[in-house]
Amino acid sequence: MDKKYLFSPGPTMLPAEVLLKMAEPIMHHREPEFEKIFAEIREGLKYLFQTKNEVLIFTSSGTGVMEGAVSNLLSRGDKALVIRGGKFGERWGEICKAYGIEFIPIDVDWGKAVDPKQIQKALDSNPSIRAVYTQASETSTGAKHPIREIAEIVNKYEETVMVVDAITGIGVFNLPMDEWGIDVLISGSQKALMLPPGLAFVALSDKAWKFVERSNLPKFYFDFKKELKSAQKNQNSFTPAISLFVGLRESLRLIRKEGLEAVFQRHEKLAEATRASVKALGLGLYAPDSPSNAVTAVKVPEGIPGGKLKNLFFEKFGITVAGGQDQAKGKIIRIAHLGYYERLDMVMVISALEMLLKEMGYPFELGTGVKAAEEVLMR
Ligand SMILES: *Cc1c(COP(=O)(O)O)cnc(C)c1O
C-alpha cells in the first residue's frame, strides 16, 4: 500500500478540512463572495501575527515577500545588516546583492543562535544601517534566534528597522509583533499555516511603513503600498491563488479555534518529545543550545550516511524528512513538527527512525526513542 507522510519543514501535511474547502469549485476574485472571505482572512491573520496592522498577502512562495522586504523598505545607498546562520540567512544577503544593497553580514556558526550583542555592536559602529534582516527560526539548521532581544536593540534606533523571516516561526512559537516592536514580520503558507505552497504574508509596523514611503528601489508585483490599498478593499492587486485563500480561511479558523497559546504549547510538546527521543537514542542535536520548535535537526551517527537514511525513510515508510544542505549535507536529517501534527505523529516518525537505524547497524535497544517521546507526550 502506498501511504505518504510529510515531515519536511515545508511543505507540511494538510488537514482534511482545508483540503476539502480547496476542492470546491473556484469563484471569481472580484465578486462579493470572495471579498467576504478576504475580510475574514484579514482578521484571522491579524490574530495570528498579533498585530493591529494589516497583514499583506501575496501569491508567491515565501521568498517573494523576503524580496519585497528589501525592495520596499530600502533606498539606493542604504546599508543592511544580515544575520547569516544558515541557508535562509544567506538568502537575505543574496536578495540585498540583487538590489545593489551593501550589507554587513553577521556570520553565525550553523546550529547556533546569533548573539544580540553582536547586533548592538554592528549598529553602533555602522550608523548607516537602515535594516536588520534575520530569521526567527533558521529552518536549515533547526536553530532559533532571540527575536525579542534583537527587537529591543533595534527599537532604540530611529532610523533602523528589524525584518524577521518568521516563515517557520509564525504559528509555532510566540512572536507578538506589536508587543515586541517587530517592524516587519514574514510568513508563508506551506509551513505552520497548514496550506500548500503559494501564499506569502508580510506585516509592517508604523515605523516600517515610513520606510516604505521613502523607498526608491524598483518594485512592481511586490509593491507593498499598492497591495495595502487593495487589501483595505478586501482585494488583491492581481489575480490571487483563489483556492488557497479559501483554504486559508479554513486553516485560520482551525488556529483560532485551538487558540494561539494552545498552538504554541502543542508545538513545544512535539518538539520536546522529538528532542528527548533523539537524546535517548544517543544521537546529537544540530542546534542543541537554542532549538526551534518548528523542526528538529538530528545529527546522523558516525558511519551512517545521512543521505541514504533520508532516502530510506521514503522508500520503506513513505515518509519525507529533510536532509542537510551545504556544510550539513549528509550529516543531519531534519524532522518537522510545525503545523498539522499531533502527538502520535511524532511517535510514528521516531519509530521509523529507530527501525531504519537498526537496519543500518546503529547499536541501541529498539523502543528507546519511542519511550522517551511517550514520556514527554504523557506529561
Ligand atoms: C521555507 C522558508 C522560506 C521560504 O522559502 P520558499 O521556498 O520561498 O517558500 C524562507 N525562510 C525560511 C526560514 C523558511 O523555512
State the DSSP H helix or E strand holding residue 366, giving kind and residue range, or none if neither: none
What residues does each domain of the chain span? 5-10+259-377, 16-257
Tell me the pTM. Answer: 0.98
**Angle formed at CA 272 by CA 271 and CA 278, multiple of 5 degrees:** 90
pLDDT at residue 264, as a whole number: 98
Cα–Cα distance, 112 to 301 (Å, whole number): 20
CA of 328 from ligand 1 middle (Å) equals 17
Query: From CA 55, how far away is CA 53, in angstroms rounded?
Result: 7
Q: Say if ligand 1 is within 6 A of residue 88 CB.
A: yes
Residues 6+ apart with CB under 8 A from 265: none
Residue 58 pairs in a beta bridge with 200
Q: Does ligand 1 come within 6 angstroms of the Cβ of 339?
A: no
Residues 237-292 pLDDT 10s = 999 999 999 999 999 999 999 999 999 999 999 999 999 999 999 999 999 999 99
364 CA to middle of ligand 1, Å?
35
> pLDDT value at position 151?
98
Averaged over 284-302, what is the pLDDT? Answer: 97
Percent pLDDT > 90 in the chain is 99
CATH class given for the domain over 5-10+259-377? alpha beta
**Strand ranges for the chain from DSSP E:** 5-6, 55-59, 79-84, 102-107, 129-135, 137-138, 143-144, 161-165, 184-188, 199-204, 295-299, 319-320, 322-323, 332-336
**CB distance 89 to ligand 1 below 6 Å:** no
Tell whether the model's pLDDT for residue 105 goes beyond 90.
yes
Q: Is 139 in the pocket of ligand 1 (CB under 6 A)?
A: yes
**Rg of the chain (C-alpha set):** 21
Q: What distance in angstroms lies between residue 299's CA and the mean position of ligand 1's atoms?
A: 22
Question: Ligand 1, from 114, 168, 186, 244: best to mutate by most atoms within 8 Å of Cβ?
Answer: 168
* 16-257 maps to CATH 3.40.640.10: yes
Which residue has 510529510 as its cell numbers? 6
Q: How confident is the model at residue 326 (pLDDT cuts 50, 70, 90)?
A: very high
Q: Which of 63, 110, 195 to mutate to test the pocket of ligand 1 (most atoms within 8 A of CB)?
A: 63
* Chain segment 15-62, per-residue pLDDT in tens: 999 999 999 999 999 999 999 999 999 999 999 999 999 999 999 999
Contact by Cβ (8 Å): 148, 177: no
